[in-house]
Structure 1
């Protein structure tokens, strides 16, 4: 009996000890979070003490973030215009001269059923000659011809999903195998130039983003360096009473955090403001071409990238600056 009682007491004591340890771990984690929250609010308060210098730094970061983001949004709008332009690429199928109109119409109908083709226009030999007579200015000379030398033509408009140069070339090769087709022609050079310019634009955005990201790192790093120098005596005293480098580093890291977040917000506002200024002229130009195109703004991915990019650059710049300059400050 006494032995069983002793075992029960040990189990109860062990259970109470486990609960105490669990509560201790929970309370320690809560204290850890509270300290970080206090430091975060303290860093924001330090920035609010110097509103003008803070605004200048945040504005520089915001402009640096807004430039590549704005170009990215404009490039997406240009891409929307180009992919939505059905006549961006046309394939002309010149049929054999002896092809009957009924055979040409049947071929056009079969091609319209293909998923990669948006529409097919049939131009008869007579229509082609009449158009050539009007545009060329050789109307009287053409009357001397014994027969019409122009063949019937099928003008094919590929679907939007088939506007890629590789897909277009594959489509042309397939159409060329038709027995009624004498020549299949596609202005691939124009399409390749178009996509080449788009690729240059995309790479230009990444190059500009990289250069401006380096500029943001330097701006944040220099700002944190000045803050460390201004609080040198405070840092020395903190180290003398036993403060660790991690404890001293924390408020400076949160300062970089706030610089990055506020810079991302300013960058997003600048992008939206620039698009708002451009929206009116762009809408007027689209109206002249009977288009319903409207300039699109920054989406959630772009906004999130601005905030996350600003946060990452702010933390990275402050971490590099603190890691370099904090080691140079030691009590003497």
Structure 2
């Protein structure tokens, strides 16, 4: 166990020594990795802020239950009790057919059309606001309410909510695709950088192989080097996003004040920041592993 720890400590010390000997080259590499990672991370941050803003807006889908024309007070009372006990409903209100008829008569331009009607054709109705803004939940409630007795028709008004969530999900998929593409590109870039380091140490590696060094021993410092470059790139990406967010929020806050809003973009949280840096380290490790393995397979 101590030998294993010593071997890793020795490899890490060697990598840090090379980092101090050529800091500018490593900073340039970190800037390249950071710029590439900041694109998907920045888009994710914007989508997360838009999702939080959408959650604060009144996005609850509205469901209207229309009773049958022959529904009596007992049937209406039963529906009222069911809605009152339902856990998926935030609030609801009852609109009697007399109230709906009166409101319709008060509207301009419809009095003449209503004069030919001998009786009130409108049913009693319940206007329901569900607790969740998830369109799938609203669809499920619509199907449930449609099966209730004396309910003639259930109308779901959630088209714009569905469009909003569809756009957000589309954005998430676009960010995922961009992240995957840039991830492969970074693996190739880091792998090529490690390959150049391998070529500068070619004679040393060949001598090590001749005296019995294992592939794992040779590969270890390069893996640390790739992971370290990834970490530096991840931290650089986080700094880029932080500075960009600070600059952008100045304009956003001025715009929000015009609409009496306190909206502003928030930075990545602790979990997202850790995922960014760890993902960058993993990409560096993969790029290094790929490059070293290719070289060792030719020896």
Q: What TM-score, normalized to structure 2?
A: 0.80
CA drift at 1:303? 2.0
Tell me which residue corresponds to 1:57. Answer: 29
Task: Say if 1:143 and 1:199 are closer, same or farther in 2 by CA, change over 3 A.
Answer: closer
Q: 1:141 aligns with which of 112, 116, 120?
A: 112
Larger mean Cα displacement after TM superposition, 252-261 or 139-148: 139-148
Tell me which residue corresponds to 1:151. Answer: 123
- For residues 56 and 99 of structure 1, the distance between their equivalents in structure 2, rounded to whole angstroms, comes to 75
Is the partner of 2:148 in helix, strand or coil? coil
2:144 is the alignment partner of 1:174 = yes
- For residues 271 and 109 of structure 1, the distance between their equivalents in structure 2, rounded to whole angstroms, comes to 52
- For residues 130 and 262 of structure 2, the distance between their equivalents in structure 1, rounded to whole angstroms, comes to 21
2:227 is the alignment partner of 1:257 = yes
CA deviation vs aligned residue, 1:293-329 (integer Å, no higher than 9, x gap): 6544323332222222112111111111112234556
Alignment of 1:124-139 (within 5 A): 124-125=96-97, 127-129=99-101, 132=104, 137-139=108-110
Tell me which residue corresponds to 2:18. Answer: 46
Q: Computing the radius of gyration over CA atoms, which structure comes out larger, 1 or 2?
A: 1
Is the partner of 2:271 in helix, strand or coil? helix
2:165 is the alignment partner of 1:206 = no
Whether the 8 Å CA contact 1:112–1:118 is kept in 2: the answer is: no
Tell me which residue corresponds to 1:228. Answer: 198
CA deviation vs aligned residue, 1:43-97 (integer Å, no higher than 9, x gap): 1231233233211211222233333233333333333344454443111112345
CA drift at 1:184? 0.9
CA drift at 1:156? 0.6
CA drift at 1:140? 4.8
2:50 is the alignment partner of 1:73 = no
CA drift at 1:189? 5.0
Q: 1:163 aligns with which of 116, 128, 134?
A: 134
Task: Say if 1:131 and 1:285 are closer, same or farther in 2 by CA, change over 3 A.
Answer: farther
Q: What TM-score, normalized to structure 1?
A: 0.73
CA drift at 1:185? 0.7
Tell me which residue corresponds to 1:94. Answer: 66
Q: Which sections of structure 1, spanning at least 5 residues, go unmatched?
A: 1-28
2:238 is the alignment partner of 1:268 = yes
CA drift at 1:223? 0.6
Tell me which residue corresponds to 1:318. Answer: 288
CA deviation vs aligned residue, 1:167-224 (integer Å, no higher than 9, x gap): 3233222222334433211146555544443433332222222111101101101111
Q: Which sections of structure 2, spanning at least 5 residues, go unmatched?
A: none
